[in-house]
Amino acid sequence: MLGKNIIAAVNPDAQQRILLAAHWDSRPFADHDHDKHNHYTPIDGANDGASGVGVLMEIARQMSIQKPNIGVDIILFDLEDYGQHASIDRSINGENTWCLGSQHWARNPHVSSYDAQFGILLDMVGAEGATFGYEYYSNHYAPGIIQKVWKTAASIGYGDIFRKEDGGGVLDDHVFINKYAFIPTIDIIHHSPSTTSGFFEHWHTLEDGIDKISKESLKAVGETVIHVAYLE
Ligand code: AHN
Ligand code: ZN
């Protein structure tokens, strides 16, 4: 499988750097669609992946107008959502079929002896009414970054969206950045306790389209992340 990560650098020569990331691929099969005839059809992935990409593209545009003090690397990972089809038993191949772009990058960074102070991953940040809790691996590897981001969100009026509550545990790109690149990295990811998946209602279905995307959710995440970056 050929994958391509897309990487941009703001202030490429700055020593002090942070990393912002999302996945740009979308799931090649709608294996959680309510209609089983769709289980092998690719999804649009407006929320599950593209929402994070959209926020990061606007942050890149803002930073081209007003440069932050620090360096910022924006990485769009490929093959996050290539994980094995839901019809296959999870215990067989399981976890190592997900997040292939980030697994590759974390072991082979684009710059030799790459380092960043911390990283923020955005995943499924565009659903209407999205809320974010303390995702398990984020809080395990990077509790200080969780506190920094959630405090910043509250300070600009997004305390109802960035909630001081448990946010489940998700094997996502940030886990591999923490494990293999040793950069403390959090995942801002919509956690929904009311669905069986724990994700947004239309997760891995053909319903994950642009018509379900909320500008307000994108704005809350984008403003929070850009504030964190400009405060460094
Ligand atoms: C697993 O289900 C193993 N990971 C979910 C990560 C994910 C999927 N993020 C977006 N789509
Ligand atoms: Zn997905």
- Residues 173-187 have a mean pLDDT of 98
Class of domain 6-231 (CATH, top level): alpha beta
Structure tokens at 219: 């704005």
Quick one: DSSP state of residue 190?
B
Structure tokens at 87: 């019809």
* Predicted confidence (pLDDT) per residue in 3-48, tens digit: 999 999 999 999 999 999 999 999 999 999 999 999 999 999 999 9
Structure tokens at 196: 């069986």
Share of the chain above pLDDT 90, in %: 96
Written as one letter, the residue type at 121 is L
Q: Which atom of ligand 1 is nearest to the CA of 204?
A: 11
Which residue's alpha carbon is at the smallest distance from atom 4 of ligand 1?
A: 171
* Predicted confidence (pLDDT) per residue in 61-113, tens digit: 999 999 999 999 999 999 999 999 999 987 776 678 999 999 999 999 999 99
Contacts (Cβ under 8 Å, ≥6 apart) of 178? 137, 141, 142, 184, 185
Q: Which ligand is nearest to the CA of 125?
A: 1
Which residue's alpha carbon is at the smallest distance from atom 1 of ligand 1?
A: 171
Which residue's alpha carbon is at the smallest distance from atom 11 of ligand 1?
A: 81
Is there a contact between 2 and 103 (Cβ–Cβ < 8 Å)?
A: no
Angle (deg, nearest 10), helices 215-231 and 143-155: 110
Which residue's alpha carbon is at the smallest distance from atom 8 of ligand 1?
A: 81
**CA separation for the pair 190, 195 (Å, rounded):** 12
Angle (deg, nearest 10), helices 215-231 and 50-65: 50
Task: State the pLDDT at residue 94.
Answer: 65
Task: State the pLDDT at residue 92.
Answer: 74
Supply the mean pLDDT for the chain.
97
219: pLDDT strictly greater than 70 = yes
Quick one: DSSP state of residue 158?
-
- Residues 174-185 have a mean pLDDT of 98
| Ligand 1, pocket residues at CB < 6 Å | 48, 81, 83, 98, 123, 170-172
User: Which element (helix H / strand E) includes 166?
Assistant: strand 162-166
Q: Which atom of ligand 1 is nearest to the CA of 172?
A: 6
Distance of CA 140 from the midpoint of ligand 2 (Å):
22
Residue 159's pLDDT band (cuts 50, 70, 90): very high
Distance of CA 170 from the midpoint of ligand 1 (Å):
7
- Residues 147-161 have a mean pLDDT of 98
**CA separation for the pair 188, 120 (Å, rounded):** 7
Written as one letter, the residue type at 26 is S
